[in-house]
Every structure is written in structure tokens, then in C-alpha cells.
Amino acid sequence: MAVRAFYLDIGHWALEEPERWGPWAVPSPVSEADCSVKKLEQQVKARMDQRTRERLPYLPALVRVADRRLKEASERLAALVRAPLGSTFTVLGETFTAPKTTSRADGQATTVHDVQGRRRDLRTEEKRAFWAWATIEILRHTGIRIEELLELGHHSIISYKLPTTGEIIPLLQIAPSKIDQERLLLISPELADVLSAVITRVRQKYGTVPVVPSYDHQERVWNDPLPLLYQWQVSEEHRPVSVNTVRQSLNETMTAAGLTDASGAPLNFQPHDFRRIFITDAILNGLPPHIAQVIAGHGNINTTMGYNAIYPAKAIEAHRAFIARRRALRPVEEYRAVTPEEWQEFLGHFARRKLALGDCGRAYGTDCIHEHACIRCPVLIVDFSELSRLVEVRDNLTDRIAEAEREGWFGEVEQLSVSRTAAEEKIAQLESRKNRKDSPVFLGTPSFDQLIARDSEADATEST
């Protein structure tokens, strides 16, 4: 793009100052098609869709793990609060030892030692488990961005009275973020429970939410003190929960879930994955794309459709109907269950294909058309390791032909000559394959281990 822009600039300058730039004005060697990013955008879209489709089925499992971790962390902390200082207590099958003294003003210990002697801060574990659970629930029910999540305040929860029925509808006000435009989201009953738990946690004993200053990393400015929902108390001081804390809490939940992708690698969730999953799930369940655009806060509907992981439902249903119709037209016996005797006979066919010189390549269910004269058969697959045996067979045939000629068995001479010719052809084929394999230009058919080794070498080279 830089090279093309340079040539276009020279052409434009040549119109204004032909005496100076005219001699240098030439067609750009970089065409407009060379600068097209359409293919790159399609590749990015395909990777995003694959990432969303891969994580969408695991979302319920992640929600269950986050809820379980929060309950277990709360139970451990409650057991620590009940236990006297210096005592040993057991909770959820784990044994802990409380410290003998504490420097906290309320006299409650926060750290313990397990049976291996490791020090654990149960209060911090409970905090991180809570914010991981709250983050997963809010993101999956709203599809908001991570910066919008951290800017939610107590004043973000407002109510709206329907003019027709007078029903009170709770709404969540999202502060202007990427497109500098606020929006209102409907609070579902599940989301209302989560927001209520967050407010109950951060509210002081007087019923108010503390106001804390926060730093906007996008605008590079400090915001005025606000009653943020994402705040916690550190050393008797109320501070906003950082984005790194949110990400680390999510990673801890993913580690506890033990989810893996198709290749067996650990499956990770980023906060933005919940936004893609929310939009995809909403459109799949019948929400119009232009409504999803408003909810997501996108300035262009194409951006919303870019977040939607396409599931070709119509094509899948039509293909399934086609397969059902085709099965209905074919004989029923083709889809019957295979009997044990038939399966053993099928396996026995491949066991009987093993020969002294290699393997028989005839198809299943076919008879031998050469009456088991394998040396003459073109479907005999001779193994490289049996080349010496094949040479012995050829030499033996030569000796037998010489004997038949001495005795006057001319019928035997003709038959043995045909077999010797077939053996010589197979020897020539093996030698030709061996020479081609030993040549420096032979590539061969890559095996699975070779592909893995090549990819690993390429990754190491790229990293270097």
C-alpha cells in the first residue's frame, strides 16, 4: 500500500508541477487488486467463526464450573471465619490450619496452611472466584465489551415504566464506549440476580456504594469518582477491579474446568469471546440482526454480522432430508446390522491377503482370477524386504526351465517361462522404485510423523 500510494502521489504531483514530477510519473507496479484485503478479512472472519463455534457448546459447562468454584470458595472462607485462631479445620475434604495471630482489625484470619504446608489466602480466592462468576454471567447475558463492564456503576441500573400497562422494566445503561453513544439493555431475571449479588457485595453497611476513581486506558484520563460495581477493598481502601484481575480470574476458572479443544489443547476464553457468542446465539434464536446491532452497540450492521458465526441451518436440513430420501429409495437390507459371522469373514479376507512376497491387492468379495499363481498376478504388492526372496524364486524358475528343456518337458518350459517373465518384471519394478527413492529429488508420500516434524521445524524457524 505504501508503494502504491507513493506512485499515485507522484502522478498527482505531476499534474500540478509537470516540469518537476512529470519525468517520474509512471504507472504503479502495484495494482489495486494487490492491495485488496478482502481475502485477509475472509480468513479472519473464518477464524473468528471457528473460534465461536468451538466455544459455544462449552459455555454451559464453564458456567457450572464458575458457580461451583464460587460456592466452594465461599464455604472454605466461612469455615475459616468460624474456626478459632491456631485451630485445624476440615472443609470439602481439605484440612487447613489457621494462623495463631492476625493483624486485621476485625480479628479474622484470611490465610491458612494446607497439609502440604502451602500458604493459601482463602479470602482472595473467594474474591477472584466471585468476580470470575460475575464476569461470565454479565458478559454472556449482555454481550458488552470488557471496558464497558468495568465502567458499570450503581447508577447504570435504571427503571422504565411502560406507558401502556404501567409495568416497571429494569434497564442497564451502558456508558459511551467505542462509538461514543450510550445504549440501554433489558435486564433479564438471571442478570438481575447477578447484579443484585454484585451490589450486595460492594454496598457498605449504610446502604451506599463507595465512589472510587478509575483510569480510562482508552482515553488516557482519570475519571471522576463513581459508584462502580467492579470494585473491591484492598488494605482498607476501595479500588476498582482491574482488567488484568478479570482476565486472570477467567483463566483460573478455565483451568479448573479442564476444557480442551478438538486437538486436545486447553480451551481458553477471552472476554470478547462472550460478545461473539452472545450475538451468534441471539441471531440463531430469531433475534433480527438490526436489533442485535443496537444491543451490541455497533455503528454498522456489517460489523454485527461479522460477529455472527454462520451456521448454514438451511443447507444442513436440506442435506439431511436428501440423505433420508435416498435411504428410503435404496433396499432396506443395505442398512441392516452386520452379523458377527459376516464381520469375522470380512476381517479374515484381509488376514488371508498376506503372502510370502508381500500382500494381495484384490478387492474384498472378489475371487483370485489367476488361480493363486501369485507370481504372475498384477495385483501382487511385493514388499521391498522380499526382493531377495523374489530373486531366489526367479533363479529357481531358471533352474527348473533348464531341467525341463533337458528332459523334453516343453509344456512345463512354456508355463515356467511365463512365471519367470512375471518375476523379472516385478524385480525390475522394485529396482526402479528403489532407485527413484534413493534419488535426491524423491519426495515420497509424507507420513503423519513427518508432517508433525515438519510443522514443528517450521514453527521453530518462524519463532527464531
Q: Which residue, among 404, 402, 398, has the nearest Cα to 419 in the 3D structure?
A: 398
Same domain? 75 vs 116:
yes
**Structural domain includes residue 270:** yes
- Indicate if the alpha-carbon torsion angle 125, 126, 127, 128 is positive or negative: positive
Same domain? 75 vs 160:
yes
Q: At what angle do helices 122-142 and 243-257 cross, to 10 degrees?
A: 90
Which residue stretches of the chain have pLDDT < 70?
179, 334-335, 364-365, 369-373, 440-464
- Of 283, 305, 338, the one marking the end of a domain is 283
Task: Estimate to the nearest angstrom the gap between the alpha carbon of 299 and the chain centroid.
Answer: 28
Q: Please write down the HEC assignment for all residues of 87-128.
A: CEEEECCEEEECCCCCCCCCCCCCEEEECCCCEEEHHHHHHH
- Of 264, 283, 302, the one marking the end of a domain is 283
Q: At what angle do helices 243-257 and 271-284 cross, to 10 degrees?
A: 70
**Structural domain includes residue 366:** yes
Which triple of cell numbers denotes residue 156? Answer: 447504570
H or E stretch including 423? helix 410-438
Q: Indicate the pTM of the whole model.
A: 0.64
Same domain? 9 vs 111:
no
Same domain? 105 vs 22:
no
Same domain? 70 vs 21:
no
**Structural domain includes residue 196:** yes
Rounded-to-integer distance, Cα 253 and Cα 70, Å: 10
Q: What does the angle CA 318 – CA 322 – CA 325 come to, to the nearest 5 degrees?
A: 135
- Of 283, 306, 330, the one marking the end of a domain is 283
Q: What is the pLDDT of residue 132?
A: 94
**Structural domain includes residue 334:** no
**Structural domain includes residue 318:** no
Same domain? 250 vs 166:
yes
Same domain? 143 vs 259:
yes
Same domain? 28 vs 102:
no
Same domain? 23 vs 91:
no
Which triple of cell numbers denotes residue 291? Answer: 436489533
Total tally of structural domains belonging to the chain:
3
User: Domain range holding 9?
Assistant: 2-36
Query: Would you say 179 and 217 are in contact if contact means Cβ atoms under 8 Å apart?
Result: no
Q: What is the pLDDT of residue 292?
A: 87
Query: Would you say 301 and 279 are in contact if contact means Cβ atoms under 8 Å apart?
Result: no
**Structural domain includes residue 17:** yes
Q: What is the pLDDT of residue 410?
A: 81
**Structural domain includes residue 93:** yes
Same domain? 261 vs 119:
yes
CATH number at residue 97: 1.10.443
Same domain? 25 vs 70:
no
Same domain? 213 vs 66:
yes
Specify the DSSP class assigned to residue 270: -
**Structural domain includes residue 155:** yes
Rounded-to-integer distance, Cα 396 and Cα 407, Å: 17
Residue with cell string 525341463: 404
Residue with cell string 454498522: 300
**Could you give the C-alpha distances from 186 to 157, 191, 269, in angstroms and in order?**
10, 9, 25
